[in-house]
Amino acid sequence: MPLADSKNQIQLVKDGLINLLFPEVCIGCETELSVRENYLCYTCWESIHLTYFEGFKEPSSLDKLFWGRVEFNATYALFYFERGKVSQKLLHALKYQFKGNLGVYLGGLTATKLADHPVFKEVQALIPVPLHPKKAFIRGYNQSEKIAQGISTVWKIPVIQQEVLKTKHTESQTKKDQFQRWDNVSSIFKVKGDLSNYQHIAIVDDVITTGATLESMAKELKEANPSLKISIISLALAKS
């Protein structure tokens, strides 16, 4: 047996033993996962409604969300966020159940979907939406950074983490209307570093609802570097 095949067989045995002793369960339905399933069982993965924005020739609903507010070169969300559905459980696990590697995994899937996209192929760096240090300490990590790490691994471009800071610890956006969301995130970001070496960056977020956070952050980036091209990559878009 070739050495590579032998190593693969050994790894499969190890994975099988680990799964036997510490079985992983599906985030969606809590059934035990097979060694070939990641985070969700096949049935739960199939239940998630993908946007397919990567194939759109006309403006998507996410593009239109920012019309008249702020200019983005391209926007993308992998799937729709739906309350009470598997997509909500997936994002809840990422943000509140210490599953940072889930963000890396989903970021990799997103990057693969956009590998041949004509606009996103021009992106030179990724900027995850920053968390206030207090919130980052409570969660243990920034979920947007984890998503960006997954994209970075596939695209081989840097993740910028210190040049943009969140200067105010904001309240949860969940129960706020559109005006309250904008008021909550207005002027909370500060561009600290020099981004003049980049012509095109992508802001990375976990879920987009009204887009107020991304609008606020993009305006700060544009003020610091008016010629900067900005795109958006998110895991989810809230379904209207």
The predicted structure's pLDDT at residue 1: 47
Looking at the fold, whether 41 and 135 belong to one and the same domain comes out as: no
Burial of 180 (0-12, 13-18, 19+ CB in 10 A): middle
Q: Domain containing 232 — which CATH number?
A: 3.40.50
- pLDDT tens-digit readout, 100-152: 999 999 999 999 999 999 999 999 999 999 998 888 888 899 999 999 999 99
Looking at the fold, whether 118 and 152 belong to one and the same domain comes out as: yes
Looking at the fold, whether 40 and 107 belong to one and the same domain comes out as: no
Looking at the fold, whether 11 and 29 belong to one and the same domain comes out as: yes
Looking at the fold, whether 84 and 31 belong to one and the same domain comes out as: no
- Rounded CA separation 218/110 (Å): 21
Instruction: Say which residue the tokens 């194939």 belong to.
Output: 55
The phi, psi pair for 70, rounded to 5°, reads: -155, 145
The predicted structure's pLDDT at residue 99: 95
Looking at the fold, whether 91 and 160 belong to one and the same domain comes out as: yes
Q: Which long-range contacts (CB under 8 A, 24 or more apart) does 153-159 make?
A: 153/104, 153/107, 153/108, 153/111, 154/107, 154/108, 154/111, 154/112, 154/115, 155/111, 155/115, 155/123, 157/123, 157/124, 157/125, 157/126, 158/125, 158/126, 159/125, 159/126, 159/127, 159/128
pTM: 0.85
Looking at the fold, whether 20 and 103 belong to one and the same domain comes out as: no
* Averaged pLDDT, groups of 10, the chain, 240 residues long: 59 57 88 93 98 97 97 98 97 95 98 97 97 85 97 97 78 51 66 92 97 94 95 94
Looking at the fold, whether 133 and 203 belong to one and the same domain comes out as: yes
Looking at the fold, whether 58 and 29 belong to one and the same domain comes out as: no
Looking at the fold, whether 91 and 180 belong to one and the same domain comes out as: yes
Among 13, 30, 47, identify where a domain stops. Answer: 47
Domain that holds residue 10: 1-47
Looking at the fold, whether 189 and 220 belong to one and the same domain comes out as: yes
